[in-house]
Amino acid sequence: MPVFTEIEDLRRLYQRRVPRMFYDYVDVGAWTGSTYRANRTDFERILFRQRVAQNIEARNLSTQMMGRPVSMPIALAPVGLLGMQHPDGEIHAARAANAAGVPFTLSTMSMCSIEDIAEATRAPFWFQLYTLRDEEFLDNVLERARRAGVTVLVLTLDLTIQGQRHKDLKNGMTAPPRLTLANIINIAQHPRWALGMLQTKRRSFGNIVGHARGVKSLDGLMEWTSRQFDQRLDWRRVEEIIRKWGGPVILKGINDPEDARRALDTGAQAMLVSNHGGRQLDGAPSTIRALPSIRRVVGPDYPLYLDSGIQSGQEALKAIASGANGVFIGRAFVYGLGAMGQKGVETSLSILRREMDITMALCGINDIKDFGPNCLWSDDLDNPTKAARN
């Protein structure tokens, strides 16, 4: 059994175990990938303060997200097609999140349905909604989410048109994969994945097929999906959907202070600073760069989360110290899922937890609630006269 000490170990195993088109779907950004890369490299410019002799024996990572107790401030982000990374992938990820005491967010574009997750986990979860045109489907999916016990709606605003990812177009990515010669050869090289997929019935979009009018087959689904992303989306419509839901909402995809200012007026309970993991507007700033300007706009007490680029506990802590109340992770758990299902996601989460715990200790902090801007090195500390006052 290999020893997994960092998320990268899981990524390598994942790459070996899953057919190429699904690996390529995850491990990529839009166009040149500049925002995708900046989401990670911009963290490197932020430095921790190494502090000593602070008695760090009583450490605590547990806190709350959206009023829910969490064992650490990390939630699983909504990721489409998890059921193509591992058979029944969404169920595996949701179970791992429950075992680790962190929230799971089911994507609209999942293989397992809302009802599948409710039945398999019997625990509250969060649901992500794309703002679709089909009003009947929208009303229906919100009602299904309510009935399944979904506690928080994550409303994604940054995908009303799809950013271009070269590899998906070149691979002809679909779910389930079309049986072209190239795909058959690639799938044959991943027998563990193929066998697992043969054993599950969940190989298409479980929230949509059989629920959206006229969608019974793969072709009908592709057609329906491409018509659904609503390019007319505006703030009035966002407010309408928030009203329709009637419960707590996180607005996902805010990456600009002016949007944050407008989003405050919608009455949404929280925002998720996100650029969709660099998959939408290539050339946009990394979220860690945009975060401080957004925090200034929403004020110190508004619940603000961040995703895009987090693949270590250190990055999570840098985001938290820079103004986030918690973070969401996408690829960091998908690598674990593709590598080893539920156990892999649990491994991802325990790697992040250990990294957060050790880092917090070496910064001289016991409680995650005290991990703030004072834990980061600042220019003032380079200036001896100012530093003396700290």
| Catalytic residue IDs | 276
- Using an 8 Å Cβ cutoff, are 143 and 240 in contact? no
Indicate the residue among 76 and 297 with the shorter CB distance to ligand FNR. 76
Name the nearest CA neighbour of 172 among 181, 258, 42. 181
State in angstroms the smallest separation of the CB of 52 from ligand FNR.
32
Q: Which is nearer to ligand FNR, 92 or 365 (CB)?
A: 92
Q: Residue 310 or residue 365: which is nearer to ligand FNR going by CB?
A: 310
CB-based contacts of 382, cutoff 8 Å, min separation 6: none
Q: Name the amino acid, one letter, at 321.
A: A
Beta bridge partners of 126: 105, 152
At closest approach, how far in Å is the CB of 162 from ligand FNR? 11
Q: Which residue is nearest to ligand FNR (CB)?
A: 330
According to DSSP H, which parts of 33-189 are helical?
34-44, 82-85, 89-100, 114-121, 135-147, 166-171, 181-188
Rg of the chain over Cα atoms, rounded to whole angstroms, equals: 21
For 48, 100, 289, the CA distances from 323, given in Å and listed in that order, are 14, 24, 11
Residues that bind ligand FNR (CB under 6 A): 25-26, 39, 77-80, 107, 109, 128, 156, 252, 274, 276-277, 279, 307-310, 329-332
In the complex with ligand FNR, the residue whose CB is nearer, 279 or 295, is: 279
Least CB distance to ligand FNR at residue 277 (A): 3
- The least distance separating ligand FNR from the CB of residue 129, rounded to whole angstroms, comes to 8
Question: Which residue from 97, 120, 88, 94 is spatially nearest to 106, judged by alpha carbons?
Answer: 94
CB of 389 to ligand FNR, least distance (A): 38
The residue (of 49 and 167) whose beta carbon lies closer to ligand FNR is 167
C-beta of residue 272 within 8 angstroms of C-beta of residue 158: no
